[in-house]
Structures are given as C-alpha cells and as structure tokens.
Amino acid sequence: MTPPLHLHGIVPPVATPYDPQGQIDPDSLRRVLRHLLDGGVHGLFVLGSTSECVFLTAAQRAEVVRIAVEVAQGRVPVVAGVMDATTDHCIAHGRQARALGAQALVLTAPYYTRTNQAETQDHFRYVRDAVDLPVIAYDIPVCVNIKLARDTVNTLARENVVVALKDSSGDEGNFRMLLRDLADLPDFALFTGSEIVCDAALLGGAHGIVPGLANVDPRGYVRLYDHARAGRWSEARAEQERLISLFQMVFFAAQDLSAGASGVGSFKTALKLMGLARSHHMARPNRPLPPAAVERVRQHLVAHGLLAA
C-alpha cells in the first residue's frame, strides 16, 4: 500500500555539487542539504532540473538519493525526480529511488519522445502502477515536448495517479485555474516552481513553492511562506521583493551561457562562495560562470547580507 505524502511549504530542488572532474562531490552535497534543513525547509526535492538530473548516470542518481535520505533522517520528506526519455527508464529510476528510501517520485512527460496528452497520461499511470510510491507531476514544457494540459492534470489528480503538481510552465493563469479546479481535493497539493511570483501563488491557494534560489537563501523563502500562511501579505510581498532582487544573479552571465547554465550555475557559484560547495562546475557541456560573473555574484551576496565583505 502506498504510504501517504503530506507535502507543503518550501521544497527546494537541491543543487548537485560536482568536483572539477565532473563527479558528484558527496561532502559538498551533505553541506548543501544540512544548509537547507537548517534553513527550515519542509522537504527536499533531489534529481530535478536544478539538480541536473538528466546528466547523471543511474549510479550517480542512486548516490544523490542515498545521501539525501541519510542526511534528512526522516525530518522532512525526500522526493526524487525520475525523469527520462521513456516510461520503462522512469520506472527503473523509480524502483531504485524507492529502494533507497525516497518517499515520492517526481515525474515529467517523457522528453525527446514525442507524446500526446493521452499517451502522457498513460506514462504517469504506468509509472504509478509499477512503483508503490506517490507521484508528483512536474510541468516543465521548456525541457520536454509537451505542456501538461489542464484536463490532463485534472484527470490524473482525480484518478489518484498523481498527488501533487509542481508547475514550472510559466503559465500562471493555467495554474490559477488548477487551484480552482482541484480545490475539492483536500489531499492534492499544488506547488509553483517560480522564484518570483510565490506571494501571488500562495495568495491564490498554492500549497508551497519549489524554488531553485532556495538553495542560496532557504530562510528567505521559509519566511515568505510563514508570512503568507499567517495572512501577513504585506510582509510576504516585501520578502518576495527582496528575493526578486537576489534572483537577479541568474542574469549575470546570461549573454555568455545558456539559460540553464546561467541560472543553476549562479546558484552553484553562490554555494561555492558561501563555503558550502567546493566547486561551481556544472555537467558538460554546460560551462561554469566565468570569473567576471563569479565576482558579480560575490558582490551581490555581500549586498544581500548572505556573505561577509
């Protein structure tokens, strides 16, 4: 029987530190995880986009899940991305994650594979049937071939195939409609994957946030969430504005690097500057931030009180 999943609040997509040779750095990963837990987060999402999941081998994915479960020690849920190009590969990743102690799976539509909405629904059903863990749907059309349609999410939620949604589609109107559609399912949770519209999403009824920037400043997002839960909307907006300012680091190398490398790369650079990771390298072929951008990130962290001058 599938154990229940009670997921809410701030669930960061955990960055995966590498050494300069491109291998996972276990000690740095443990420091990042402890940093997040000390910041008060409510869950840990490993092997997502910010984790550079698709670059990792099965053995590396297993190492990340094992370390996260070990560090969390049951204090918060650990959910694991199992994204891949085919359903059967996702099932294999899911079974591995379950064996290592993950408490839920995070699943996109298959990437590279071209599927329609009906086939995408079947993809979720097949994985859910094959792995006895709750499944969280992940809508990120920029990284796969398809957006999860409103009807698809409604169907999968009402069949209890998926128990939550992480929406990184950028379609805030559709997300608001889903909050309304699924309000009668008290156990279904909707999360925004945006760093910059969290206050609005929470005001609309979102159950939590999955922000990559929380790797850098988990306490800020926890404060934002706590303000929203308490109805302190002016304080929530002020915290959101501060986090929007901090988020500007993702643009410091945007002209030189891909969107993924400048975004995740800036977070990894911050983690290195803060003494949490030994390297800011990314998986090949993505390049690390160049020295000039690293210096701008350093100055930005100092200005926001996250690093000593």
Contact 59, 65 (CB under 8 A): no
Residue 137: phi, psi to the nearest 5? Answer: -80, 140
Lowest average pLDDT, out of 1-5, 43-47, 155-159, 295-299, goes to 1-5
Q: How confident is residue 253, by pLDDT bands cut at 50, 70 and 90?
A: confident
Residue 90 clears pLDDT 70, i.e. is over it:
yes
Q: Does 221 qualify as catalytic in the annotation?
A: no
Q: Quick count: other Cβ atoms within 10 Å of Cβ 2? A: 13
Predicted pLDDT at 3:
67
Contact 43, 4 (CB under 8 A): no
Residue 254 clears pLDDT 90, i.e. is over it:
no
- Given 18, 111, 126, 166, the catalytic residue: 166
- Given 138, 147, 225, 268, the catalytic residue: 138
Q: Does 166 qualify as catalytic in the annotation?
A: yes
Predicted pLDDT at 22:
84
- State in words which class domain 9-232 has: alpha beta
Q: How confident is residue 298, by pLDDT bands cut at 50, 70 and 90?
A: very high
Question: Average pLDDT of 82-105?
Answer: 98
Query: pTM (2 decimals)?
Result: 0.96
Record the tokens describing residue 270, joined without a space: 């911050």
Predicted pLDDT at 212:
98
Query: What residue segments make up the domains of the chain, in order of their start?
Result: 9-232
Predicted pLDDT at 85:
96
